[in-house]
Amino acid sequence: MRLSEAIRNGAQYKDGHGFTLKVSGGQQCGCLIGTTLYVMGEEYIASERRYTLMAKHFPIISEIPPCPVCNDKLVVDRNADMFYGIGRPPGSAAECLYENHGWSKKAVAEWVETIENKLEAESLLSSGHQDTVTVQASAPVSSETVKV
């Protein structure tokens, strides 16, 4: 399952806190990462392991660029104790857009999908395919065609 699809599937669960996914300390979470991991079968997440689990289920996460709104400054500042010495965690942009900038899970999924499609097209191009590759992007980004 693609990351964008898992985020969309997780969107059916309540936004914000109050979701039944248990995280460390017995808290419950309805955040973007929590609901996305729940879709992938994770039922208990120690918050310090959330990025490790995301990378396990979605290797593409390391290719997700920084937050387009704040360059991940807010998510890294908010979790400075957890990220001290490691810099920007992979995939933190998706969390930042949802938690700090008020994007819906659906909007984050659409943004992630455009990145997935772009990376998929680049992979096809670099593997020597000599065909036309069409990248379907979710609204509001239009489709683009790349000729080789």
Q: Domain spans of the chain?
A: 3-146
Q: What is the dihedral of CA 37, 106, 87, 65, to 10 degrees?
A: 120
pLDDT of residue 37: 86
Coil vs helix vs strand at 142: coil
What digits encode the pLDDT tens for the residues 1-58? 999 999 999 888 765 544 445 555 555 567 788 888 888 988 766 666 777 888 889 9
Give the percent of the chain with pLDDT over 70: 59
Query: Can you tell me the distance from the alpha carbon of 44 to that of 126, in angstroms, rounded to the nearest whole number?
Result: 39
Q: Which carries the bigger pLDDT value, residue 4 or residue 87?
A: 4
pLDDT of residue 8: 95
What does residue 97 show for φ and ψ, rounded to 5 degrees? -60, -40
